[in-house]
Structure 1
């Protein structure tokens, strides 16, 4: 994008004088008792230190005005408040002065104001000089103006989305995961691209920001330096950037959005880059014999061979979703294999969600292992009324036998057609038997669950049959 930058020198101040600039308005009295205001220090614009070199201005978006700040001063230690005044002008026409006051500015601390804004917009593509001074609100005495700071306004967004390519994770094919993803971003012909923003989560972070230190002095966070997982500086203005990154998640289908940014952090329309990763989830194997519900089970965790070949798996992250919920990290052996002991405590089914982490930080896709309620629900059989079949008849008694799938069953609670529940004791081997006589023909449902000696209830078993 093209912009004009007036090649002015400090002769601009002579133009200001010729324009007959009046002193700016003075705020309400600040109770000055002596001494004189002193020239502000520590000047910043949009949280960045001001540039006193008009050939190297700070680039800013001026559409909402430019926030400027400085620390006002006064030689009388008893003066706490002054007015800090700011003025700015475009180097191409120093007569177009923009002003702003900050009344009741606390002496010794940063005071801010906004030059320009929606009601008095700054010119796009211009270089502005700005200054600040301290004014004694009681006497009207003013300090010298500071040396000028320079900002260049840029409200024009890059007009082409960037290009994206990867030598080791190209689009259009399934790629072996495990290695960092190398990406090259290109400006696509836009001459003032200064860097790139990229995100795996759909939304772009806001570049910049600052930590506020003593006396309100900002410590600017250069996004290219402080957030390398989201921003990459171009190797030259209008140039490209190359990054090597790990995705924050791995579903097997990764979506990266990339936007180019100019020096004022205006973003282009984004490019979307799609990466397909071969399945690389670990294998989860239960090695203990049909674990007792409520007891500890043993699992073997084995890495994906392709992933292990790229970078050795060093640990596994296991989320247990059961009656209780937990997350555990298990270290792997040199071969990438780990063993996990875990109590399965949900009668309706436990779920394990397992990912592996490689030595280089790559996180695999997620493996799902689960049980279901059928693993704890009792077994129901009948000599007269078979499951999902028909038999007997009205007035014909039938026997139903409840057999446990887990140890420790002490009773069973059952109901017919979801009516009143009845509890019967279990025998020495955990079995129970009931006799039931239907009064009418038709379709019936028997539901039964067991209770263990520890008071835990199993999942219910549903048994359907038809009375002739």
Structure 2
């Protein structure tokens, strides 16, 4: 007998295994290898014994041992549960021989039997259902055998069966002929390889055009000809097709009144976690013409059907500019706007049905655009969901808006029309003279000191004091806060002055008619240098004292310093600076007599206990009579 031994046999039962070939996810088609959940052989000489096929080689056909004839068959059961909707296109049973009786003879066949739940015996063999395939090629003496069993797998899956059982045997006419006998590799045993692919599809609820959801019925959305981006999300149940794979998405677009003018674009390397997108040139679209489009996806093996069509109407023309009037704000630069009254403006689309509404700004318009959202899809929001917009009461109609200027002085108001596709007209502009109306901000009590509470009083413009209901203020750019006005229209707020760089407060008043004032502000800066005072020689721009008249100069710590050890000073920046120690209260006093009349400058630095010197010096200028 010709023999080829395999590697060391494996012992023990082997559970079903489903693995992709090769070991990483690949694009369609896909391959999986199944190992039998039950594997055994029978022996005519031991008709009531089942022989589990584990690690040892298995006999097949006839052989003689101890002068007795043994005839063996092999039974294999596979679990195909996970492939019910896998799109099986091929299924192959693989076996390997380790020894044959005669290299010139080979006849092996495979039958489907009733599914078994335990290893069968010769006497209790399962009923055969149908012949499946055979193998008679003798080009190799000891060969690798393969059998096409796709019909068995497909039929089982179509009937909802989870397992199949295959019988491997020598045909009846040769089964007792020992020259057709052979052994099968116990290390490899058997494998069932499946080629499969689940068909991809387009997700209907994730189709978009121009940043808007797909419309399948009229009325169709109007889409700006410059933003005709078509998007569709592909889906594929096979993991290997879902990321960076060979998915391609085709888009087809045509005018509804001319289906023959269909044009197609393809997106390569599409993913299932983001929409595929194509952009069509603006010149392709005519104003007011309706267009339809659809998409399909392919994974290299299967191609989905075209999706149902989506529809839109192209918009290629900007709407006309609006007419603007105001009941109380002069638009011809003939006077000032009233304090305390919002401007009442009427915008008019002139009866043009392309005008859906209006947009305004105090200054310059920003460029409208779209954003990217879930699934990386384009989101073009309804233009009237944004700020400073209002819909017309009817197409081409009017709208009234109460507007408060954001500041004072000559302010520019610009207005333009907006159509249903978000296209804008050329703006019309007006210069409006707005009087100042900001609240006054004053300190309650003495001058602010570092790390102490500061109370500010907000006083509204006199023309709106009786109607002021509250103030909106902001401290150092933090979150805006609101404080209610008292009976006299004023309000107070208190905060701790603990920032070395100082503080800034901005505030606006609000009246009972919704009008908001101009912005008022107040700032507090703490000097980063020491203080200097002198009674004999004050720094007031006038000469005092005289030559040889001694005066005292007192140095005080920088407002944000908690400790001062000394001061370094110099008159008229003569070097070196002289150092004087600070007292327990952090101050120091020197006495100095000027040598002659004129103007002098005193430079003073503060010194901490650790020796660091203030970055800035105090420059104290004074005149001597």
Q: Give the alignment's TM-score, normalised by structure 2.
A: 0.54
The change in CA–CA distance for 1:86 and 1:303 in structure 2 (over 3 A counts) is: same
Distance 2:201 2:357 in 1: 39
Q: 2:548 aligns with which of 388, 397, 414?
A: 397
Q: 1:237 aligns with which of 395, 415, 419?
A: 395
Distance 1:71 1:88 in 2: 17
The answer on 1:380 being equivalent to 2:545 is no
The aligned residue for residue 4 of structure 1 is: none
The aligned residue for residue 473 of structure 2 is: 317
Q: Once the 2 structures are TM-superposed, how far is the Cα of residue 99 of structure 1 from its aligned partner?
A: 0.9
Distance 2:233 2:479 in 1: 50
Distance 2:410 2:613 in 1: 41
The aligned residue for residue 364 of structure 1 is: 517
| Matched position secondary structure for 1:312 | strand
The answer on 1:154 being equivalent to 2:311 is no
**TM alignment of 1:40-439, pairs within 5 A:** 41-42=204-205, 43-53=207-217, 56-63=219-226, 66-72=228-234, 80=242, 82-106=247-271, 111-114=275-278, 116-117=280-281, 121-125=283-287, 127-139=289-301, 141-143=303-305, 145-158=306-319, 160-171=320-331, 172=333, 173-178=335-340, 180-188=342-350, 190-204=352-366, 206=368, 209=371, 211-212=373-374, 221-224=381-384, 226-227=385-386, 229-245=387-403, 249-251=406-408, 254-290=411-447, 295-313=452-470, 315-317=471-473, 319=475, 329=481, 331-335=483-487, 336-342=489-495, 352-358=505-511, 362-369=515-522, 377-382=531-536, 388-389=542-543, 397-402=548-553, 413-419=568-574, 420-424=576-580, 432-436=589-593, 438=595
The aligned residue for residue 76 of structure 2 is: none
Deviations for 1:126-147, whole angstroms, at most 9, x for unmatched residues?
524333243444446551x334
The change in CA–CA distance for 1:209 and 1:361 in structure 2 (over 3 A counts) is: farther
Deviations for 1:165-195, whole angstroms, at most 9, x for unmatched residues?
3334443433344555443222356541222
The aligned residue for residue 463 of structure 1 is: 621
CA contact (8 A) 1:319 1:354 kept: no
The aligned residue for residue 149 of structure 2 is: none
Q: Once the 2 structures are TM-superposed, how far is the Cα of residue 317 of structure 1 from its aligned partner?
A: 1.5
The change in CA–CA distance for 1:427 and 1:401 in structure 2 (over 3 A counts) is: farther
CA contact (8 A) 1:399 1:433 kept: no
The change in CA–CA distance for 1:373 and 1:45 in structure 2 (over 3 A counts) is: closer
Distance 1:75 1:377 in 2: 78
Unaligned 5+ runs, structure 2? 1-25, 30-86, 88-195
Q: Once the 2 structures are TM-superposed, how far is the Cα of residue 389 of structure 1 from its aligned partner?
A: 4.1
The change in CA–CA distance for 1:437 and 1:230 in structure 2 (over 3 A counts) is: closer
Q: Once the 2 structures are TM-superposed, how far is the Cα of residue 48 of structure 1 from its aligned partner?
A: 0.8
The change in CA–CA distance for 1:346 and 1:410 in structure 2 (over 3 A counts) is: farther
Distance 2:453 2:571 in 1: 34
Deviations for 1:237-269, whole angstroms, at most 9, x for unmatched residues?
22233334556x434554332222233322222
Q: Once the 2 structures are TM-superposed, how far is the Cα of residue 67 of structure 1 from its aligned partner?
A: 1.3
The change in CA–CA distance for 1:405 and 1:268 in structure 2 (over 3 A counts) is: same
Q: Once the 2 structures are TM-superposed, how far is the Cα of residue 100 of structure 1 from its aligned partner?
A: 1.1
| Matched position secondary structure for 1:237 | coil
Q: Give the alignment's TM-score, normalised by structure 1.
A: 0.69
Q: Once the 2 structures are TM-superposed, how far is the Cα of residue 164 of structure 1 from its aligned partner?
A: 2.5
CA contact (8 A) 1:37 1:73 kept: yes
| Matched position secondary structure for 1:307 | helix
| Matched position secondary structure for 2:518 | coil
The change in CA–CA distance for 1:333 and 1:236 in structure 2 (over 3 A counts) is: closer
Please report the RMSD computed on the Cα atoms of aligned residues, expressed in angstroms: 4.8
Distance 2:496 2:238 in 1: 73
The aligned residue for residue 11 of structure 1 is: none
Identify the range of structure 1 (182-191 vs 347-356) with the bigger mean alpha-carbon deviation. 347-356
Structure having greater relative contact order (Cα 8 Å, sep ≥ 6): 1
Distance 1:169 1:209 in 2: 37
